[in-house]
Amino acid sequence: MAGQPLLEIHDLSKRFAQRAGREPPPWVIQDLSFTVGEGEFLTIIGPSGSGKTTLLNMIAQIDSASGGSVRFQSQIAPIADPKALNPGLSCQIGYVTQEDNLLPWRTTLRNVLFPLEVQGRLNDETRAHAQMLIRAVGLAGFEDHYPHELSGGMRKRASLIRTLVYDPPVILMDEPFGALDAQTRAQLQEDLLRLWDLGRKTIVFVTHDIAEAIALGDRTLVLTRAPARIAGEHKITIPRPRDIRGIMTHSEFGPLYQRIRAELQ
């Protein structure tokens, strides 16, 4: 169950800088407000180009906002000034980007351990936790393989647990399974829900896939085309644990799917 708001997004707006000799660029996001509860799995669905990645970049503090605020645990994050940004809010916000960004010269295990090394938190306990996560997503036996020796699905799993391993209270995910085939994608969705169930992190998961938004989320926000505003908000009460592969047969799925599809048009 979702508790107190962990993240509060208020009137967030974004317009990229004007380039010399060009028209001012349009607003990408305008006056967007929503909250994310502690332990909630929020999915955000919007058409391609609607500003989803831009939104996550601002929440992750890797891009500045043109207006509005982001609060994390009631503290205002400094996102108005590009020079004051604190990417990842000192490791409190994990970010699984669209690309897996594994380091090609590091093995699976050493990629997963990398954030712990950077944070100076690599010890017997955190190493054992990393090994547990590797087993949990079926990467046991591949610890010493390099990224180019893994399939796309395996690389995604490695990048997912590399974020889980340092235990940030919030994880942002940007269409992480978009490039995978349907079978692998369903497998990873199941893995993700299983991992989430182990720790119940707060997750903000962006997708352009309606079925994915419904299958994973406690709640979904539907975004308009840019400038992104909220076209709809839906609680998803399909009980957990969910059967990802059979979710279309649940009575709640069809009507919700149709409503979201109408809001996207």
Nearer to ligand ADP, 54 or 107 (CB): 54
Quick one: 239 exposed, middle or buried, by C-beta within 10 A (0-12, 13-18, 19+)? exposed
**x/- contact string, 201-230, with ligand ADP (CB under 6 A)?**
-------------------------x----
**Cβ at position 172, least distance to Mg ion in Å:** 12
**Cβ at position 145, least distance to Mg ion in Å:** 29
From 41-49, 65-73, 78-86, 141-149, span contacting ligand ADP (CB under 6 A): 41-49
Q: What is the DSSP string of 24-93?
A: PPPPSEEEEEEEEETT-EEEEE--TTSSHHHHHHHHTTSS--SEEEEEETTEEP--SSGGG--GGGTTTE
Quick one: 38 exposed, middle or buried, by C-beta within 10 A (0-12, 13-18, 19+)? middle
Nearer to Mg ion, 49 or 141 (CB): 49
Using CB under 6 A as the binding rule, whether residue 53 contacts ligand ADP is answered as: yes
CA angle (166 as vertex; 161, 170 as ends), nearest 5: 85
Residue 65 and residue 55: Cα distance in Å, rounded? 9
The type of residue at 224 is T
129 binds, among Mg ion, ligand ADP, none (CB under 5 to 8 A by kind): none
Q: What part of residues 9-38 is at the interface with ligand ADP (CB under 6 A)? A: 16, 28
48 binds, among Mg ion, ligand ADP, none (CB under 5 to 8 A by kind): ligand ADP
Using CB under 6 A as the binding rule, whether residue 5 contacts ligand ADP is answered as: no
Q: Which of 9, 44, 45, 46 binds ligand ADP (CB under 6 A)?
A: 46
Q: Edge-to-edge strands of the sheet including 170-174?
A: 93-96, 170-174, 202-207, 41-45, 219-223, 230-235
54 binds, among ligand ADP, Mg ion, none (CB under 5 to 8 A by kind): ligand ADP
Nearer to Mg ion, 55 or 130 (CB): 55
Closest CA to 220 of 45, 34, 6: 45
61 binds, among Mg ion, ligand ADP, none (CB under 5 to 8 A by kind): none
Using CB under 5 A as the binding rule, whether residue 92 contacts Mg ion is answered as: no
> In the complex, which residues of this chain contact ligand ADP (CB under 6 A)?
16, 28, 46, 48-54, 226
What residue ranges bind Mg ion (CB under 5 A)? 52-53
